[in-house]
Amino acid sequence: MKRIFTNARLMLPNEPQPKEGDLVVDGDRIALASDVADGEHRKTVDCKGRILAPGIVDLGVFAIDKPAFRFGGITRAALMPDQSPVLDLPAMIKQSAAEGKPDLWSHPIAAATPGLEGKRLAEIGLMKRSGAKAVATGRQWIADSGLMLKLLQYCRSLELPLIVHSEDAGLTSGAVATNGETATRLGLASATAAAEAVSIARDIALVRETGARLHFRQVTTADGLNLIRTAKSEQLPVTCGITPAHLLLSDIAISDFRTFARLSPPLRSEENRLACMEAVQDGTIDVISSGHDPRGPEDKRLPYAEAATGMAGAETLLALSFTLVRDGMISIGRLFELLSTNPAKILGVEAGLLLPGYEADFILVDEDGPWQVDTRKMAAAAGNTPFDGLPVQGRVTAIYKGGRAY
């Protein structure tokens, strides 16, 4: 049966603004409007003027958290290999890929090295066969440049993107914050933000050598972004991402030892934050993701240095990202490129665009819908957000995966 979603504002590919129109869904796929013949048996859904946008593809979450994803409009989530046990065997990839279906598609990311220990190559070819769409170094970087070179060569030959965490561990060893006034006042072990640029510079040099596709999961410094800007101007196959927290908060947010603001990489200085904003605008940043990492009180209600890193970001991803649109920094079209189109492209999956033949993954969005972030009421497995109490606008009113409402 075909369904027509009428009275919608469609977020179509390469359009900066939504366009009024209808979307036709045939089974689990998007179909062409011309496919619907007069008198054909069909169902009509009135979208009441809402934005109909591609479902969000969240690149690099640390937990599959369906209630939070549903609230946040996430139809596909790329799961980081930092699981317990680590996603470093084909069987685990296969099992993880099946989790969440049919209402959510999980794309497990293969661990680059067994146990994410950074010592030798994992069976990434076999893991690709089991459904891995990408390879990642997890929360760590790979210190051994020789191993990193081999990894990139392998990824290139297997046509898999490599997703990396960019912080030179030699510089960040023991640090829990970024160098600056806040960390010094609080007496927290901190590291130079240059740890990011050092790591990115090495990896770009190796991309130049290998031609492998490399995605820097979270780039948070002006120097790091400048390196990526230059690499892109050379047409090197590099992309990068960021989270709303790194775009909207600086290291001041960790004052009073707020463990909910303890992230990896750590929140940076205001100057770096502004550089990230600029990079979203000029296209250097390709992806905004949630980095969703729900953590309960046993992980977070600890002295700052002992608390786990990470935030529950899935629910707030869209609303916080909408801030950029409201502030006139980017168009709505560009926003959904960052949230849906580009992450799907990096993973090589047919999603993230309202195109005929693509999986009918989409959301209805009330872009002005107001709500307040409240850690006590979150749908996520845990409410560890540094945005607690913040009034936000923009919420998902309906979510469709493969044409079915959830």
Partner 1 sequence: MTSQKTASSQSFPAGSDAFPHRHLLGIAGLHPWEILFLLEEAKQWVDLNKKSSKHADKLDGLTVINAFFENSTRTLLSFEIAGKRMGADVVNMHAAQSSIKKGETLIDTAVTLNAMKADAIVIRHGSSGAVQLIADKVDCPVLNAGDGSHEHPTQALLDALTIQRRKGDISGLTVTICGDVMHSRVARSNIYCLTTLGAKVKVCAPPSLLPAALDRFNVEVFTNFDEALQGSDVVMMLRLQNERMNGDFIPSPREYHYLYGLTQERLKLANDGALVMHPGPMNRGVEIDSDVADNLENSAITEQVEMGVAVRMACLDILTRKSRGVEGWS
Q: Between residues 144 and 306, which has the closer beta carbon with respect to partner 1?
A: 306
Per the CB < 8 A criterion, the answer to whether 382 and 295 are in contact is yes
Cβ 297 to partner 1, closest distance in Å?
8
Q: Between residues 172 and 179, which has the closer beta carbon with respect to partner 1?
A: 179
Cβ 257 to partner 1, closest distance in Å?
3
Cβ 184 to partner 1, closest distance in Å?
4
Per the CB < 8 A criterion, the answer to whether 358 and 29 are in contact is yes
Nearest 5°: phi and psi at 74? Answer: -95, 120
Cβ 186 to partner 1, closest distance in Å?
6
Q: Classify strands 134-136 and 162-164 as parallel, antiparallel or unpaired.
A: parallel
Cβ 258 to partner 1, closest distance in Å?
9
Q: Between residues 184 and 372, which has the closer beta carbon with respect to partner 1?
A: 184
Q: Between residues 38 and 256, which has the closer beta carbon with respect to partner 1?
A: 256
Q: Between residues 120 and 301, which has the closer beta carbon with respect to partner 1?
A: 301
Q: Between residues 216 and 304, which has the closer beta carbon with respect to partner 1?
A: 304
The neighbour count for residue 344, using CB atoms within 10 Å, is: 28
Residue 102, preceding bond cis, omega within 30 degrees? yes
Per the CB < 8 A criterion, the answer to whether 257 and 304 are in contact is yes
Write out the residues near partner 1 by the rule CB under 8 A. 179-181, 183-190, 192, 256-257, 297-298, 301-306
Cβ 238 to partner 1, closest distance in Å?
29
Distance between CA atoms of residues 290 and 127, nearest Å:
25
CA angle 159, 165, 170 (to 5 degrees): 130
Cβ 273 to partner 1, closest distance in Å?
16
Cβ 305 to partner 1, closest distance in Å?
5
Q: Between residues 268 and 395, which has the closer beta carbon with respect to partner 1?
A: 268
Q: Between residues 257 and 406, which has the closer beta carbon with respect to partner 1?
A: 257
The neighbour count for residue 46, using CB atoms within 10 Å, is: 11
